[in-house]
Structures are given as C-alpha cells and as structure tokens.
Copies of this chain bind each other. A is one copy, B any other.
Amino acid sequence: MNITNKQRTLTPELLHNIDAYWRAANYLSVGQIYLHDNPLLKRPLELSDVKHMLLGHWGTTPGQNFIYAHLNRVIKQFDLDMIYVSGPGHGGPSVVANTYLEGSYSEIYPEISQDEAGLRKLCIQFSFPGGIPSHASPECPGSIHEGGELGYSLSHSFGAVFDNPDLIVACVVGDGEAETGPLATAWHSNKFLNPATDGAVLPILHLNGFKIANPTVLARIEPEELEQLFRGYGWTPYFVEGDDPELMHEAMAAALDLCIKQIKSAQRDARENGNLTRPRWPMIVLRSPKGWTGPKVVDGVPIEGTFHSHQVPLSDPKTHPGHLKLLEDWLRSYRPEELFEESGQLKPELAELAPQGERRMGANPHANGGKLLRDLKMPDYRDYAVNVPQPGIRGIGDTHELGRFIRDVVQLNTEQKNFRVFGPDETASNGLEAVFDVTSRQWDARMEENDEHLAPAGRVVEMLSEHQCEGWLEGYLLTGRHGLFNCYEAFIHIVDSMFNQHAKWLKVTNGLPWRHKIASLNYLLASHVWRQDHNGFTHQDPGFIDLVVNKKASVVRVYLPPDANCLLSVMDHCLRSRQYVNVVIAGKHPAPQWLTMEAAEKHCAEGIGIWDWASNEDGGDPDVVMACSGDVPTLETLAAVSILREHLPTLKIRVVNVVDLMKLQPDSEHPHGLSDPAFDALFTSDKPVIFAFHAYPSLIHQLTYRRNNHRNLHVRGYKEEGTITTPFDMTVLNELDRFHLAMDTIDRLPQTGEKGQALKRKLADKLVEHSQYIRKEGRDMPEIRDWKWSTP
C-alpha cells in the first residue's frame, strides 16, 4: 500500500518539530563528518574548522535520521519498548547524533556533554584517531548490530525479539544490504515468530536506490514486483515514497501508526484470542533519495539522489576553495540557530520529542543485553554421567548423552524462556533428539498432519540456513539470553565471517565497562570430519578452529572432549560462561568411553593431562608421548598404544589427552595456556611426541612452535584425504589410524630395533588387509569394529 494520505497524523506543530529534530540530527551528522571546530557555526566556517581526513558515509545518514525521529514519536505515543538496528551501520553519524540528541550518549560519555564543548568533542571524535568508529559500533549506546559487514540486521533483530513479547525491533535494511544472501533469506524469519510469545520486528527497507557505486536491485525492479516480493515473503509492505520533507513526514507518521497498530492487533489476537495463524506482519519501504538534503550538485556532478552521495560528498575543501562555501551552506541549510540554544543545548521543544529514560533507544536495556541476563538454571551434569566401569566400554554416541542434559537445560528454563537451540535442520541428526521429549521446533508456517516435533512455540529453531541460525543466536545473546548452535563441522565455515564479527564485537565490548557481559556463543560441531565417511569429501573440513584461534585469546575457547562424560563437563562449563566464543567438537556415533565422571571432571578442569591408566611409564620417564585431541584421534591413539604395549612391552609410553586446545599455547599468548615447565612436564623436553589431532596438523605446530620439545613433535591429522568410505578408512587415508600411529612411533624409536621393524611390517600388512577387506565387504574389518581397549 502506498501511503500518501492526507489524514494528518501529525499536528502542524508536531510536524514542524519533527522536521526540526531531523534537521538537528542531520546537522550533527554533517558536523561529525567534517568539523574539527566551530560546531555551532557561530562564526563563518574556516578551513581550519575542517578535519584533515574526511571519513564517513553521508548517503545513508539522512534517511536513518528521518526514521529515528519518527520512531521516537511512536515510542512516545504508544509507549513502546523498542530498539533500533541499523543495517547499513556505516550510518554511524546517525546513531551517534540521535543518541546524543536524546541524551543517552552523554550519560555514558559525560565528556561528550550537551553543550558547545560537548558538541565540539562529538564532532572531533568521529572517525578520528583515539575517537570512535564510523559504524554503529559497540561504543554506540543502543546498538546490538555494528553493520560493518552487511547482511545480518534482520537475523539479529529476530533473535532479539524471540521470547521478548513486548519488544519491537525497528530494523533498517539497506537496499544494498538486501542483496546479500543472508539478508535475502532472513525475510522468511517471520515463519519462526510466534505472535503470542515473541515480540515483533518492523523492517524498514531503506530504498535509497544505491549502494557504493551502483544502483540497487530492489530499486530497479518494477513497483509491482517489489510489492509481490514482500508479499511473497509474507509481509504487508507500506510504501513511503518521495523527497518533499513535509509530505514525507506525513506519510511516514501515517505508515508508522498503521504498522504499530497492526503489530499490536496481531499480538492481541494471538494473546487474547489464541489466534496463532501467522500474521502478515507490516513493514515499511522508504523510498527516498540517497544523501537526502545534502548537496545537489558538486562540480557539475549530481550528488543527492545518486551513488555519489555514498561517502563524503565534498571531499576536499582544502584544494577546492569553493567547497568550503558549499559545506557552510549545507550546514546552515539546517538552520542550527533554530535548533540549538546559544549554550549548545538542544531546544527544549525539540528535546521533549525524544522518549524518556529507558524508552530512549540508546538507553533501552535490551540493547545492553548483559543487563538483563539471568543465569541459566542448570541441572547437575553429573546426573547424566555415563557409567564407565572400565575404560573403553562402548557408548551410544557422545552427543546422544549430551542430548539428555540439554533436554533438561531446556526444561528447567522453560519458564525463564532464556535458552534456545539453533540448527540448520540437524538437531536430531546431530544426536540431540532427546530435546524433543520436552520441546518442539518453533514453526509458525502451515502445519500438516504427519508433522513431528513442530509447534508454534518451541525452544529449538531450525531453518536450512547457517547464516540465520548464527544471526538469530547472536541477536538472542546480545539481548541477554543463552543458546547453542549445533552444526555440521564442515559447514560451520559458512558463518566464518559472522563468527569473526561477533568475536570482534566481544573484544571491543570487553573494553567498555558500561556494556554488561553477555552469555557466550556456543558451537557444538557434532557431525565432524572423521565421521563423514558416508557424505564424502565435501563434508570433511575441520578448519573452523584455525579461524577461531586467530581471534583475541581473551574471547575464544576450543574444546575437544574425548568422550561423553568429558563432553557433559565441558558443555556445562560453556553454558555457564560469559563473553566467549566456545567451540565444542564431539561425535554422535557410538564410540568408546574412557573416563568416569569423576575422572572426566578433573580432566576437563585441567584441560589436559596424562592418562595414567593407559600409560605404562611408571616413574615418569617415558620413551615416547602419545598425545591425542578429539574423540576419533583418542580412539586411534589408544588402539595404537595397545598394539605397541602388546608387541613392544618394554616400551614406556605416556598417553596425554588434550580437551582444552588452548592449553597448548604459551601462557603469554592465551589465559588457558600452560607455562613452559608445565608443558614440559607433560610432553617432556626431549622425547618423541606422536600427536593425533582432530583437525589440520599445522594448527598444533602453530600453537606449540615455541615449546622446548617442539622439534620432537610429530602430528597427524586431517590432510584433505578421504571420500565415501568406511569410518576407519577415513583415518587410514589421512594416516591417523592406529597402524600408522604405531608405525610412526617405531620410526621415532630406534631402540625398538628388530622387534620394532617386525611389528612395522606386520602393521603394513594389516593396512593392506584392511584395504582389501573394505573394498570387498564394504565395511570395516571385525577386529576394527569390535576392538576394545585392553592392556597386556
């Protein structure tokens, strides 16, 4: 529907004031981009008032200022609990200007005071060394979405309103941003929103027609197509189009009133009448010129309404004397003298347009989620212990055990409604099926007769989009809740860049005392590289953790529990933690269990340790250290140890298992890192170490290259081999299997002599036998399938 009505939503006075408020925000935005001094233009603008380096994005800013001013009005009018997400976050000047105008900025940064001195600092600090970034960065109050990497605004917004029934997120989507894949599928989030128990997202597509140097797709399809597209996505679009401020204020106000009423009525209908049919939620399409109200033409080039307004329209007043005049005219066109007192304070009739207290979007606690964070109610994970009377008993699959624990975390927090599990259609396949005993997948699209575990509200959210899962969870965490993302290990790379951005957000907020700590982002990578024998090469990639360890050590944690009891202990720890990214890698297939719960607790608390029961070094002077990290490498290492101990009984072997990968780094590099003496105490300073690793071997070298004994470290791991085959053959193809590990050990221990060589020949034969057997039988040899840990 095109909103062009003349029904006068605003009184002439209110319209006039909103326009003035908008001008004030625009004025401060231009000021931030350009001014080093003279912020109120009390004297003619001089070159020395202008910054040396002109940085920032003007194009998106006036539109966002326009939206913010109008949102303020409806917040006040309807007493809304609303936060603002700026999709094109490079409109930093806008969010900063608006939180400054409403007062929330100065409350957090008192030196940016609401007077002329504060205004001056406000202008200087923007995009200035020692100052603030040009995006809606963590430094900006009210922001949960920096918008540096485009594409996640809607996913974050939906994550924020899950289980926040009274919250509305006004989400500005850039029309360029809308071309990204993650954003294009995020419109479908409305099929996962329950009108009774969740809040609402009001998307405002900012159709300013351009991105950096191109028009946008959505601005250049036909109007009918645009409307069909959004109706097809399940929304009711309202179109606000034009460039005459007066008409646009009217239309925007009318559209917002309509949207808010429609949202409220859908929620009432669901909450009071139990009508849960999916509402066709309202949204706004704001078609206005890019760089609206800015310079029209500069040096003969049209600016307003073209992509040339994207960044700094008058980019070099130093060398273009005429530009200084244009800049001054531009600034004065907002008539600052009508907007600010002599003192620099916003005029009271304008100041009162902003909401009060926590209703201000810059002060809304949802945008500083740690403030609202409540601890999870946690069951005692020891209650889910697998009984391990002796090491090596067969388990049902570690994540299946974990599933029962997660099920009860879900259950215990049903009332608090602050825990959700996200996954791209794999929660059951990853072994967490037990959660469906107590909850369902939230599904607000049509249901059909034979559907299983679907319900209008549920603690599990699944869409076949890793981007959506990640974005939703991030939004959920950033607004003060807890969660878990379960995913195939290989495909978690799909969200590499989103992980990067979230880790960066955490790093920056760690330095902002006013930002309260939020719950950690927890990944469970269950269908991992070693058990993709049935899916093949495309599903085999353990490299996510290589990316993870590049981020700040204060933020990232990687865990490789070797069995179910360790997994339980690790996950308990992760779910209680704050302000981290925790990556947990665990298998879902039946696998041997090694530690009693008591031993597992201790092992996980230490993060790394010698497994005495598997070692025969007695006395602490081993010939070789067999180290392992990850469930499959642990299995293969122990199998190799049992071979070696049987055939070379005089060999003294130490088994070291690594749960917490960061233990390997020096303590100077990571807070979990072992000191060099502690490292040497485990790995010796001169004995061969055969290290069987879950992921790419180079990561172990990267973490340990400074260690004394690094030169004796021999690492096996995934080396991009394998395809469809048997589970054991995956390890053989990558030379991580028991036979190769045992042979590697012999190679490094000349003292094994002829006995060693004989064993090597035998193992080489075994490898041939294996290969022939699987090619014939299509499954692993019985001695592999039925292998059990035992010591001679």
Residues in B with CB closer than 8 Å to A552 are 720
Q: Which of B179, B183, B425, B779 contacts A53 (CB 8 A)?
A: B779
- Which of A321-329, A539-547, A744-752 is the contact stretch? A539-547
Most buried by B among A186, A213, A699: A213
The reply on A295 being an interface residue by CB < 8 A is: no
CB of B720 within 8 A of CB of A710, answer no
User: A134-184: which residues lie under 8 A (CB-CB) from chain B?
Assistant: 134-135, 137, 146, 148-151, 176-177, 179-184
The CA-CA distance from A302 to B212 in the complex, in Å, is: 52
CB of A129 within 8 A of CB of B494, answer no
User: A212-270: which residues lie under 8 A (CB-CB) from chain B?
Assistant: 212-217, 220-222, 225-234
The size of the chain A interface, using a CB distance under 8 A, is: 121
Residues in B with CB closer than 8 Å to A150 are 464
User: A422-473: which residues lie under 8 A (CB-CB) from chain B?
Assistant: 425-429, 441, 443, 445-448, 450-452, 454, 462-468
Most buried by B among A214, A229, A233: A214
The reply on A550 being an interface residue by CB < 8 A is: yes
The reply on A315 being an interface residue by CB < 8 A is: no
Residues in B with CB closer than 8 Å to A710 are 705
Closest to A552 in B: B720
Residues in B with CB closer than 8 Å to A463 are 179, 217
Residues in B with CB closer than 8 Å to A543 are 500, 547, 550
**Residue interface bits A700-717, CB-to-B below 8 A is 1, else 0:** 011001000010000000
CB of B214 within 8 A of CB of A536, answer no
Residues in B with CB closer than 8 Å to A452 are 213
Residues in B with CB closer than 8 Å to A447 are 220
Given A191-B220, A535-B148; A779-B52 close (CB under 8 Å): yes
Closest to A139 in B: B723
User: A515-551: which residues lie under 8 A (CB-CB) from chain B?
Assistant: 534-539, 541, 543, 546-547, 549-551
The CA-CA distance from A191 to B226 in the complex, in Å, is: 13
CB of B221 within 8 A of CB of A445, answer yes
The reply on A131 being an interface residue by CB < 8 A is: yes
CB of A135 within 8 A of CB of B536, answer yes
The reply on A128 being an interface residue by CB < 8 A is: yes
Residues in B with CB closer than 8 Å to A8 are none
Residues in B with CB closer than 8 Å to A151 are 181
The reply on A51 being an interface residue by CB < 8 A is: yes
Q: Which of B36, B184, B725 contacts A129 (CB 8 A)?
A: B725
User: A328-368: which residues lie under 8 A (CB-CB) from chain B?
Assistant: none
The CA-CA distance from A228 to B450 in the complex, in Å, is: 27
The reply on A758 being an interface residue by CB < 8 A is: no
Q: Which of B36, B132, B232, B778 contacts A230 (CB 8 A)?
A: B232
The reply on A490 being an interface residue by CB < 8 A is: yes
CB of A504 within 8 A of CB of B538, answer yes
Most buried by B among A132, A216, A500, A696: A500
The CA-CA distance from A211 to B466 in the complex, in Å, is: 14
Residues in B with CB closer than 8 Å to A55 are 534, 724
The reply on A777 being an interface residue by CB < 8 A is: yes
The reply on A698 being an interface residue by CB < 8 A is: yes
The reply on A282 being an interface residue by CB < 8 A is: no
The reply on A413 being an interface residue by CB < 8 A is: no
Closest to A775 in B: B130
The reply on A496 being an interface residue by CB < 8 A is: yes
The reply on A188 being an interface residue by CB < 8 A is: yes
Residues in B with CB closer than 8 Å to A464 are 150, 176-177, 179-180, 211, 214, 216
**Residue interface bits A45-88, CB-to-B below 8 A is 1, else 0:** 00000011101000000000000000000000000000000000
CB of A232 within 8 A of CB of B234, answer no
The reply on A106 being an interface residue by CB < 8 A is: no
The reply on A127 being an interface residue by CB < 8 A is: yes
CB of A536 within 8 A of CB of B148, answer yes
Q: What distance in Å separates the Cβ of A555 from its nearest Cβ neighbour in chain B?
A: 9
Most buried by B among A90, A494, A701: A494
CB of B53 within 8 A of CB of A726, answer yes
Closest to A426 in B: B212
Q: Which of B36, B90, B306, B549 contacts A450 (CB 8 A)?
A: B306
Q: What distance in Å separates the Cβ of A672 from its nearest Cβ neighbour in chain B?
A: 16
Top 3 nearest A-B pairs (CB, nearest first) are A148-B538, A229-B232, A181-B181
A residues sitting closer than 8 Å to B (CB atoms) are: 36, 51-53, 55, 90, 124, 127-135, 137, 146, 148-151, 176-177, 179-186, 188, 191, 211-217, 220-222, 225-234, 302, 306, 425-429, 441, 443, 445-448, 450-452, 454, 462-468, 490-491, 493-494, 496-497, 500-501, 504, 507-508, 534-539, 541, 543, 546-547, 549-552, 696, 698-699, 701-702, 705, 710, 720, 723-726, 729, 774-775, 777-779
Interface pairs (23), CB distance under 8 Å = A90-B535, A130-B725, A131-B724, A133-B538, A134-B534, A137-B538, A148-B538, A179-B464, A180-B181, A181-B181, A181-B182, A181-B468, A184-B465, A211-B464, A213-B428, A214-B425, A215-B443, A220-B447, A221-B234, A221-B446, A229-B233, A551-B720, A702-B705
